[in-house]
Structure formats: structure tokens, C-alpha cells
Amino acid sequence: MVQSFLKGVIPALVTPFRDGALDEAAFVALVERQIAGGVHGLVPVGTTGETATLSTDEHKRVVELCVRTAKGRAPVIAGAGSNSTAEAIELVRHAKTVGADAALVVTPYYNRPSQEGLYQHYAAINEAVQLPVLVYNVPSRASIDISNETLARLAKLPNIVGIKDATGDLTRASFQRLMCGEDWVMLSGDDPTALGYMAHGGHGCISVTANVAPEACATFMNACLRGEWETALYWQDRLVRLHKALFLDASPSPTKFALAHLGLCEADVRLPIAPCAEAVKPEILEAMREAGLV
């Protein structure tokens, strides 16, 4: 039986900054907005949360704030990846300690392990911490692609329960579903193709766009979960320009610009991410208008 709390639209939350520091009040308000908007879960300190430029203390603090704010109203899937297995275990262990419901662990970036190395990485996490773990496959960022064959091996481990698939490759989703079994949780990590991913048997989407449009994204995903494909297609058409616009500059700078335009947080990002380019702001605003946000 697929773990029932790992489904639907789950925002990959931004981490708000003000004057170079975490803006805790803004983060709490963003979490409250997501829950009020009907999202099905929360992912703090993922890629969109700029985890690469957070200190370990900041990373842990954001997870703690998310769990504390959610108060069980939405499951928290804490970002906990590293290209060091020992550090990933530390972050997953912390997520469990503070009450997160699961962890999202990206494939180890930069050092480009073999498929056997990838298996051993996740197997070590599985052995070290009793917490559901989602594998995060994002070859465009990590420079490594975990194969369906390796995932089928991992699916046999009790704590490795599913995937966030940001490849945009829908064919592999069907093969993965068949290879990993009916208990394997399949979440898209690519907003524009999430409609197709759901039709291929997916269970939800870890979404960037939901930061900006939680209600619309939740309505879209609820239609998918009910098999109401005509309604889902209507929302896909309203949101698809926004999906694309939020990646017209290095993420999450366009998302933070959109949130700042809505008065929800500052647009501040941390280097090497630069502020959203002026040239793309009109297209982001037009996409927000099309989605009914402004």
C-alpha cells in the first residue's frame, strides 16, 4: 500500500532572506499560506529552498520551523541530501528527531558515483535512520542519473519508499512503476510535465509553482488524483506559462520575485544565485496574470 501521506501537490518551499539572514517570520507566514491553500505536504530546504547556500545550522532551523508551524496539519518531507553519505545520514537523523514525516535525499552531486555507489549511499541511510526516504533524481543538477534498475533494488529496502523524479522523462515513469512495485511512491519534480506523469501512474508533484499559486496547484492536483482529466487540463493550461516563467532565470530568483510582488517575502537570494533579471520580470508577471494571481 502506497504511503498515503506522500501524495498530491507538495511545494518545494523557498527560504526567505532579509538582510542576509533567514526571515523566520516570512517563512512561517509562507507555510501558513500553503496549508490554507490546500497543499498536501511541505518540503523545506530542497533545491528551491537554496539549501546549497544554507549553513548546517540554518538548514536544521528551517526544518524545525516547518515542523513546528505545520503542527501535523500537513506532512513535512525534509530536504536532507548531501554528496557525503555521512552528512546525509546526519540530516535525515535530524529530520526524524524534530518530527519530520519523511526525508528527501538527492542523488550525490559532483562526485558522480556509480550505480553501485548510489545503491550503497541510500542503503546506508536506510540502515542508519528509521524514516521514510524519497530518492530525488535530478540529473540536470546532480550530473548523475539513478537507473530504474537501481531504484528497483532500493525499493526492496524498508525505508526507501519512493522518488521525486525531475527528469521529465514520462516513459521511464511507467517502467519504474512496473519495476518497483505498487508500494513505490512516485512524485514528479517537474511542474510542466506533472499532468502526464500523473497519467503514467504518479501520485503527486513536489512543485516549485505551488510556492506562488498554492490554491490553483492544489485544485489541479486534486483533479488528477480523482481522474478528472478535463478539469486537470483546464488548470494545466492556466498554469503552464507560470511553470515555465519561474525558470526563466536561475531558480529560485523568479519565484522569489513573484512572491515579493505579492508582498509575501523579500526577493533576496544568496550568491551565486543573482536577483531575478529585469528582462524576464514582465513575462513572469504576465504568467501570474494568466494564472489569476494578479
The residues assigned a catalytic role are 136, 164
CA dist., res. 134 & res. 121, Å (int)? 13
The answer to whether 162 touches 204, Cβ cutoff 8 Å, is no
β-pairing, 21-22 vs 17-18, is antiparallel
Q: Which amino acid is at 170?
A: L
Identify the bridge partners of residue 134 per DSSP, sorted by sequence position. Answer: 104, 162
CA dist., res. 193 & res. 176, Å (int)? 16
Rounded (5°) CA angle 221-223-227 = 115
Q: Tell me the three cell numbers of residue 46.
A: 530542497
Q: Tell me the three cell numbers of residue 249.
A: 532565470
